[in-house]
Each structure stands twice: as structure tokens, then as C-alpha cells.
């Protein structure tokens, strides 16, 4: 009975806290999730202790089990315990929160769930990655939204040689200032980065308030640049190659008509 009550209480506790306590406390989504998880752990631990006492299992009866468990931890459960402790550190220290955008190793995505052993990260393709909690504590972690959701979009544009570089730079800045989702503080920045093989290279750096519609916003920036450059008569460069012929000796030129080629192919097939 006690075990059943503990299971039901731990499972329904987040919903109870949501409708009874969190409505009156200034917690964000990550804070509510962390507080709910910690309360679930506490309720589960208390329920296990009460259940053991109810069925007559005391500490003296489980000392051998505790000793065996400690030996098992020493030999085979280090990673599990390390991930569990790391999960507690994550919930208390909160280097990541549910909803944060993070980069762990080669995985980019949003934190959707923090569990005892692992944290779930959902990437942009809606694939879920289970990352052991220890990776967030002992490994390299980039949290894009930990304290500030502002992010930067970097757009590289190459214009044809002979173009007006001053006009191109002013046009890029005008594009950034005219888009409503680009922040004025920090201000956008357009720079002339150098002379490329086929183009004069410019870079536009624009800041966005958050990651909402990030892909669509970047697409709109590219489209706006293309439209405004067309109107301003600025040509976006494309790769070009120069072919130089060796004129030290006569060039041999063979002219073959399409009809002749077709006839020769037919003769080859008949043969």
C-alpha cells in the first residue's frame, strides 16, 4: 500500500506543484522542472523508507545488502553513480535547463528532459539524443541561452571585382537596419574582409533577440541582400576560371559535326 501511494504521489507531484505552488512563484520553466524533480526524488526516498519500515525491514537487516551494493558500485556501477550525482548537480547548479539550446560534442539541440542518468537533447531534425549527465559536468558544454538569448547571424557575401565597395558596405548595413527582427543594440556590422580569388569578400554580422525562427530569419536576410543588390546594380560574384593556351607551337583544332558523330557511332554499333 505504501509503495503504491509513493509511486502515485511521485508521478503526480509535478502536476500538483504546477497548479498549486508554481502559479504564485516567479519560477521559469527550467526552475519549475528542477524543483519538481528534486521533490520527486525526496518523495520516492521517503516512501521507500516508510515501505521498508512497514514490512519490517530495518537497517540491520539490509546491512549486508548495502555492503554488497558498495562493492558493486566500486567495480561496475561507477558510471551510473557518477551520472546520478551529475544529474543532481545539474538540477541544483543548473548549468542547463529544460528549453536551453546547447552544444555537447557534435550534438546541437534543445534540452527537453533531465533524468536521473541522462539528459535528452532534441536536435533540429527532431531526433532525440540521450547524453549521460556526466558529460555536462566533466566535458565541454556550450549553452547558447544560459544567461542571454541574444545570438548573432554571420552572412558572407562576395561581390564582383570593380564594384563600389563603399556602396556595398552601406547597402548591407541598410538591409540589416530595415529588417524588424535585427537588433539595433548590439548594432549590425558590415566589414570588407579581403580580396578573394573570384570576389571582394564582405561579411554582415547581425544580432537577433532570440533563436525563435532563426532559420527563417537568416533566409530573409539572404533574400533581402539579393534583392537590394540587384536594385543597386551590385553584382554578386561567382567562381570564374581563365584558360591560357600555349602559343609556342601551333594549336591543333578538330571540328566535328553532330551528324558525323552520330553516323560514326551507328557504324560502330553495327560492327
Of the spans 1-5, 30-34, 86-90, 117-121, which averages the highest pLDDT? Answer: 117-121
Q: What is the pLDDT of residue 87?
A: 83
Residue 47 in this model has a pLDDT that exceeds 60: yes
Q: What's the CATH code of the domain at 104?
A: 2.30.30.60
How far is 48 from 36, CA to CA, in rounded Å?
Answer: 18
Of the spans 24-33, 46-55, 136-145, 226-235, which averages the highest pLDDT? Answer: 226-235
**Residue 120 lies inside a defined structural domain of this protein:** yes
pLDDT in tens, 162-177: 999 999 999 999 999 9
178 & 225 share domain:
yes
Number of independent structural domains in the chain: 3
How far is 103 from 143, CA to CA, in rounded Å?
Answer: 7
Of the spans 7-21, 144-158, 248-262, which averages the highest pLDDT? Answer: 144-158
DSSP-derived secondary structure letter, 59: G
136 & 156 share domain:
no
Least confident of 45-59, 116-130, 148-162: 45-59
Q: What's the CATH code of the domain at 162?
A: 3.30.70.100
117 & 139 share domain:
yes
Percent of the chain with pLDDT over 70: 70
The whole-number average pLDDT for the span 123-136 is 91
pLDDT in tens, 8-40: 766 666 666 666 666 666 666 666 666 777 777
How far is 169 from 134, CA to CA, in rounded Å?
Answer: 46
Q: What is the pLDDT of residue 163?
A: 92
Query: pTM of the prediction?
Result: 0.61
199, 158 Cβ separation under 8 angstroms:
yes
**Residue 253 lies inside a defined structural domain of this protein:** no
Residue 217 in this model has a pLDDT that exceeds 90: yes
113 & 184 share domain:
no
Angle at 12 between CA 7 and CA 18, to 5 degrees: 150
102, 142 Cβ separation under 8 angstroms:
yes
Which residues are 208's β-sheet partners?
A: 151, 182
Amino acid at each position: 500500500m505504501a509503495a503504491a501511494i509513493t509511486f502515485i504521489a511521485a508521478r503526480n507531484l509535478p502536476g500538483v506543484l504546477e497548479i498549486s505552488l508554481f502559479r504564485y512563484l516567479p519560477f521559469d520553466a527550467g526552475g519549475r522542472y528542477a524543483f519538481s524533480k528534486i521533490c520527486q526524488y525526496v518523495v520516492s526516498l521517503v516512501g521507500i523508507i516508510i515501505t521498508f519500515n512497514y514490512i519490517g525491514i530495518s537497517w540491520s537487516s539490509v546491512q549486508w545488502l548495502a555492503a554488497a551494493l558498495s562493492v558493486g558500485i566500486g567495480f561496475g556501477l561507477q558510471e551510473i553513480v557518477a551520472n546520478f550525482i551529475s544529474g543532481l548537480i545539474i538540477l541544483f547548479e543548473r548549468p542547463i535547463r529544460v528549453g536551453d539550446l546547447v552544444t555537447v560534442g557534435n550534438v546541437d539541440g534543445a534540452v527537453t528532459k533531465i533524468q536521473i542518468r541522462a539528459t535528452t537533447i532534441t536536435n533540429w531534425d527532431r531526433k532525440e539524443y540521450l547524453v549521460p549527465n556526466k558529460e555536462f559536468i566533466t566535458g565541454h558544454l556550450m549553452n547558447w541561452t544560459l544567461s542571454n538569448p541574444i545570438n548573432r547571424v554571420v552572412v558572407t557575401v562576395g561581390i564582383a571585382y570593380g564594384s563600389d565597395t563603399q556602396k556595398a558596405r552601406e547597402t548591407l548595413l541598410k538591409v540589416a537596419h530595415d529588417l524588424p527582427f535585427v537588433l539595433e543594440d548590439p548594432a549590425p556590422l558590415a566589414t570588407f574582409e579581403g580580396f578573394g580569388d573570384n570576389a571582394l569578400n564582405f561579411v554582415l554580422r547581425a544580432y537577433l533577440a532570440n533563436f525563435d525562427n532563426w532559420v527563417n530569419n537568416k533566409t530573409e536576410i539572404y533574400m533581402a541582400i539579393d534583392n537590394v543588390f540587384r536594385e543597386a546594380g551590385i553584382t554578386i560574384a561567382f567562381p570564374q576560371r581563365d584558360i591560357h593556351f600555349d602559343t609556342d607551337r601551333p594549336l591543333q583544332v578538330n571540328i566535328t559535326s553532330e551528324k558525323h558523330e552520330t553516323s560514326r557511332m551507328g557504324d560502330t554499333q553495327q560492327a
